[in-house]
Structure 1
Amino acid sequence: MSEPARPVPAVLTEDRVRELLPLPAAIEATREALIAQAAGRVTQPGPWHLEIPEARGEVHIKGAYVHGTGYYAAKLATGFYGNTAKGLPVSSGLSVVADAATGFPVVIALDGGYLTDARTAAAGALATDALARPDAEVVALIGPGIIGELTLAALPVLRRPSELRIYGPTGSRARAAAERLAASHGWTATVAPDARRAVEGAHIVITATPTRAPHLDGAWLAPGAHVTALGADMAGKRELLHSVLERADVIAADDVTQSRAVGELQYAPDLPAVALGDVLASRVPGRTDPAQITVADLTGLGAEDAAVAARIAAAVL
């Protein structure tokens, strides 16, 4: 007797993935993943990272199963920072989605890193909305790369700030990002000459750089400011000087244990922190006073990767 035929996974191009997962859908899926993670309803291995120093390359492999869903997923995402000089995108990657009942792969998403970028931007927007003052109007973006710009594109799904300041070491790139975001969202957008002048007086600060040299000083933050830090996702990476965390009244992490290992909290492991998913689910308070300084330390979760990948699988199967 012949063995039953194995299912053949659907192969999706990056363009198709982008159609299936616009930013509002990414925000919804990422919110569910963060809440499930904080509640202990996720099975996932620890993140696996590989560095390729000669190419200024990073390889990230993550995956998870969010309990009660029909799929689990694994993804490979890369950031090769020398690609810009070669005229190539910095990010790439793919995701594999499998049936949680049979284990068979059902979707291979050749997403070019979009799923990682979208869930990172979604988490950044969710954290900012959950912790920033309700009347926040002025946003500073440090690092106008793919992640930074996409996070600013996601934020208007939840918030409507009016003024944007951008700083990046490459002025032409910062100006191009400012023009695109202003045209898309009607913001007043300016390019700051340095990080300090972008941040001083801002209500919301978003940092999205893969640096190991911290560049945001707590002394620059106005009372009531919120910081969303997206760049630290490996041991040794760091965007925030210790003064930022020292001034914070509330620190929320996508996963507190992971943040203490690879996020900003690896440099301040004894400071108290709460799970962002618990704040989103109203299980613990976030900001309780307009004058508080709040920080979100986001390292990227396999649960988020699984949630956005499952969303596209459900849409095509």
Structure 2
Amino acid sequence: MSILILSEQDLRQAITLDAQSIACIEQAIESLATKAVVMPPILSMEIPDFNGEVDVKTAYVPGLDSFAIKISPGFFDNPKLGLPSLNGLMVLLSAKTGIVEAVLLDNGYLTDLRTAAAGAVAAKALSRKDAKVATIYGTGLQARLQLEALCHVRSITSARIWGRSPDKAETMAAELSHKLRIDIQAFESGKEAARGADILVTTTPTQSPILMAEWLAPGQHVTAMGSDADYKNEIDPAIIGKANLYVADRLTQTRKLGELRTAIATGIVSDAAAFPELGDIITGACPGRKTEADISVCDLTGMGVQDTAIATLARQRAIAQKAGAQF
């Protein structure tokens, strides 16, 4: 019995951040609200000596013939060594027999893709339909992809970039202005970058807030996607108390790993407080923003169901292109 081996190059040629990949992730998130998805808690291990962590995620989705198991290391000092922060691979197994069907040596590419797509899904579901101005906090690869993803679901006409390194922010702004053909400016002040934005996205591994509650104004939407471990915190916990609508990707995860964890720890909200999940908003089981003046927050921690979905789509496209090698 053969196993399909797909390299990062194979996968980059097979799948990109486009309307279909975003729809794939939207359907995966929706399935959490409509199907008996089996998604165990994230297995997470911190490696503090080297500013690293490793997450293992998986999910079985009824109706899909395969499920993925993803191993995702993140070592955040790697750029100092000329290496990417994220790495890893996914393994696709038969949902009927458990036999390995494919190994996707993506080096984190598919994780980057599905994370950006999830940001687009959150913005589509929760931001104002007339949103045109985006602010991105962070200057890494995911920061770039989040802005690109937003342009697929909203008519973004201008953007602001804030990063701890002004030089990196300037470089990112210049490169994305050329690529996306919109006006993008780098800001040295995070507060000023927030002023007048319709959508704000935080994309960093920081352990202390970079977005403050007093900076927010009515009508804004915040997607916080950098906190996926119990020691990370990107947004002021008071933001969750201030928001008219807080939405989790998976409430059991955001209570332990996301921005909700910090809001609970500081007494902003109760540990027993009930909040909708993104799948509930997508299906209409729970209402989204009620007025144009609402402040909404989506807390994304990353889910195994997204990995199964993107891995399945990637393999389908690769097979159609006759890519990869049989082992």
Q: Normalization by structure 1: what TM-score? A: 0.95
CA-CA distance at 1:45 after TM superposition: 1.5
Residues in 1 aligned to 2:275 and 2:233: alpha-carbon distance in whole angstroms: 17
Partner residue, 2:73? 78
Structure 2 counterparts to residues 162-173 of structure 1, below 5 A? 162-173=157-168
Q: Distance in 2 between matches of 1:245 and 1:81?
A: 27
Tell me how far apart the structure 1 counterparts of residues 141 and 79 of structure 2 sit (CA, whole Å).
12
Structure 1: distance between partners of 2:213 and 2:27: 31
* 1:307 pairs with one of 309, 313, 319: 309
Cα RMSD of the aligned pairs, angstroms, is: 1.3
The structural deviation recorded for 1:40 is 4.6
The residue that corresponds to 1:122 in the other structure is 117
What SS does the corresponding residue of 2:291 show, helix, strand or coil? coil
Q: Which residue of 2 aligns with 1:12?
A: 6
Counterpart CA distance in 2 for 1:184 and 1:41 is 41
Is residue 197 from structure 1 mapped to residue 199 from structure 2 by the alignment? no
| Corresponding residue number in structure 1 for 2:243 | 248
Match of 2:61 among 52, 62, 66: 66
How many residues align? The count is 311
- Stretch deviating more after TM superposition (264-273 or 282-291): 264-273
SS of equivalent to 1:11? strand
Aligned residue in 2 for 1:88: 83
**Equivalent residue for 1:35, pick from 30, 36, 44:** 30
Q: Is residue 230 of structure 2 the alignment partner of residue 235 of structure 1?
A: yes
- Post-superposition shift, 1:94? 0.4
1:22: how far off? 1.4
Offset of residue 237 of structure 1: 1.1
* Structure 1 letter corresponding to 2:298: A
How far does residue 242 in structure 1 lie from its aligned partner after superposition?
1.9
Runs of 4+ in 1 over 6 A off after TM superposition: none
Letter of the structure 1 residue corresponding to residue 301 of structure 2: T
Secondary structure of 2:256's partner?
helix
Asked if 1 retains the 8 angstrom alpha-carbon contact of 2:5 and 2:104, the reply is yes
Q: Partners of 1:136 and 1:22 in 2: how far apart? A: 24
Conserved? CA contact 1:31–1:126, under 8 Å: yes
- Which range moved further: 157-166 or 172-181? 172-181
The offset of 1:77, in angstroms, is: 1.0
Cα offset for 1:74? 0.3
1:278 alignment partner, SS class: helix
Per the normalisation by structure 2, the TM-score is 0.92
Give the match for residue 323 of structure 2.
none
Note if 1:285 corresponds to 2:287: yes
The one-letter code of the counterpart of 2:100 is: P
Identity %: 38
- Supply the distance in 1 between the matched residues of 2:36 and 2:106 (Cα, whole angstroms): 26
2:137 corresponding residue in structure 1 = 142
Consecutive unaligned residues in structure 1, runs of 5 or more: 1-6
Aligned with 1:261: secondary structure? coil
- The aligned amino acid for 1:98 is L
For residues 45 and 173 of structure 1, the distance between their equivalents in structure 2, rounded to whole angstroms, comes to 37
